[in-house]
Amino acid sequence: MASIGLFEAFLALFCFLIVNYFLNKKPFDFLHIKKTLQSYPWNWPFYGMTPGLLVRIHRINDSVEVLENSNMTFPFKGPWFAGKDVLITVDPANIQHIVSSNFSNYIKGAEFQEIFEVYGDGIINSDAERASKLKKCYQALLHHQGFQKDSMRVTTSKLKDVLLPLFNHFSEAGTVVDLQDVFRRFTFDTTLVTITGSDPRSLSIDMHENEFVKALDDVAEAIVYRHFTLRFMWNLQKWIGFGPEKKMVEADAIIDRVCAKYISAKRDEIQQGTSNRATSWFYSSHEARS
Ligand SMILES: *[C@@H]1O[C@H](CO)[C@@H](O)[C@H](O)[C@H]1NC(C)=O
Ligand SMILES: *[C@@H]1O[C@H](CO)[C@@H](O)[C@H](O)[C@H]1NC(C)=O
Ligand SMILES: *[C@@H]1O[C@H](CO)[C@@H](O)[C@H](O)[C@H]1NC(C)=O
C-alpha cells in the first residue's frame, strides 16, 4: 500500500513539475539547469514542441531568447506524422539566401500556394521567373524619381503634421501609448498615401480601428494558424466558417473591396490626368499585364 501511495505521490509531483515548468520557468532554477536548456522548448514524444509553442507564443522575450540561443535559426519540431516541422530563422545571411540570392532553390509548391492563397499571384506566391519580373517592376517604382520625391514629401508631412503633434498631445495628457501601434499606423498611412494618393488617417488622436489594417492582421494570424494546424482541420474550419478561418474569409472580402475602391479611384485620376507620374505608370503597367 505504502509503495503505491509513494508512487502516486511521485506521479502527482511529476505532473505538478511539468505543469509548473510551462506556466513558470522559475521552479527549475534551483536545479541549476543550464540557461540554454531552460530556454529551449522541449521536444515531446508525439506532440513535438507544440506544447512549448502554445505557452510561449505570446511572450516575445522567450522567442527572442530561444532564437538567440540557437544562433538565430531554430528548427521547430511539430507533432509526429503531421508534417509540420518548421525552420524559423532571423539570420540576415539566411534570409538573403532564401529571398534573394538563391531564391530559385526554394520552390513554393501547392501547399504553400494554398496557405498563402489570399495573396493571389503576388510576389509571395510566385516562383523564380514570375517573382523576378514582379521584383523588377517594384524596383522600377521604388527607383522612380517621382515616387521617391513623393514618398519623402508624404513622410515628412506626416511626421511634422501628425506624429509630432500627436506625441505632444499624449505627453501633455499623460496618456500611455502603444508605440508599436503608433508606428504601425504611421507606416500604413504613409504607404497608402504614396501608393494610392488617399489618406486613411488611421493615425489620429482617437486611434480608431481601421478595417483594412484589421483585415491585414486577421489574414496574418490565419496564415500562422494554418502553418501549425493540420490541413484538413483548417479546411474544415474554412468550410464551416469558424475561428481564424472565418476571420480570414471576412478579411479577404474587406481587402478585395478596399483595394477595388482604391484602384477605381486611381483609374479615374489617370483618365483625368490628375495622378502623379510614378504611380500612374505602375498602375498602368499592371493593368496592361492583367
Ligand atoms: C525581457 O528581456 C529583457 C532583456 O533581457 C528584460 O530586461 C525584461 O525584464 C524581460 N521582460 C520580461 C517580461 O521577462
Ligand atoms: C552562427 O551562424 C553564423 C552565420 O550563419 C555562422 O557563421 C556561425 O558559424 C554560427 N555559429 C555557430 C556556433 O554555429
Ligand atoms: C547560391 O547562389 C550563388 C550565386 O548567386 C551560387 O554561387 C551558390 O552556389 C548558390 N548556393 C546554393 C546552395 O545553391
Please report how many Cα atoms fall inside a 13 Å half-sphere around the Cα of residue 144, on the Cβ side: 20
The pLDDT assigned to 56 comes to 67
Question: pTM of this prediction?
Answer: 0.68
CA distances in angstroms from 46 to 41, 80, 87, 266, listed in the order given: 14, 5, 18, 53
CA distance 233 to 239: 10
Sign of CA dihedral 254, 209, 199, 183: negative
For ligand 3, the distance from its centroid to the CA atom of residue 106, given in whole angstroms, is 12
| pLDDT > 80? residue 93 | yes
The pLDDT assigned to 85 comes to 82
Q: How many CB atoms lie within 10 A of CB 172?
A: 8
Q: Which one-letter amino acid corresponds to residue 249?
A: V
The 8-class DSSP code of residue 33 comes to -
Residue nearest to atom 8 of ligand 3 (CA): 102
Confidence class for position 29, pLDDT limits 50, 70, 90: very low
Average pLDDT, the chain: 80
Taking residues 31-50, what's their average pLDDT?
Answer: 60
Q: Reduce the DSSP state of residue 71 to 3 states and report it.
A: coil
Tell the residue number behind the cell numbers 513558470, with chain if given.
24
Residue nearest to atom 8 of ligand 2 (CA): 71
Confidence class for position 2, pLDDT limits 50, 70, 90: very low
| pLDDT > 90? residue 165 | yes
CA distance 224 to 228: 7
CA distance 249 to 253: 6
CA distance 71 to 89: 9
- Looking at the CA of 104, name the nearest ligand: 3
Q: Which ligand 3 atom lies nearest to the CA of residue 101?
A: 5
Q: How many CB atoms lie within 10 A of CB 228?
A: 17
Taking residues 136-160, what's their average pLDDT?
Answer: 91
Q: How many CB atoms lie within 10 A of CB 82?
A: 16
For ligand 1, the distance from its centroid to the CA atom of residue 54, given in whole angstroms, is 20
Instruction: List, in sequence order, the alpha helices (H) in the chain.
Output: 2-23, 35-38, 50-56, 60-69, 92-96, 109-115, 128-143, 145-158, 164-173, 179-196, 211-228, 231-240, 243-272, 277-289
Q: Reduce the DSSP state of residue 251 to 3 states and report it.
A: helix
Sign of CA dihedral 84, 229, 213, 110: positive
For ligand 2, the distance from its centroid to the CA atom of residue 226, given in whole angstroms, is 30
The pLDDT assigned to 20 comes to 46
For ligand 3, the distance from its centroid to the CA atom of residue 234, given in whole angstroms, is 36
Give 52 or 73, the one with higher predicted confidence: 73
Tell the residue number behind the cell numbers 473591396, with chain if given.
257
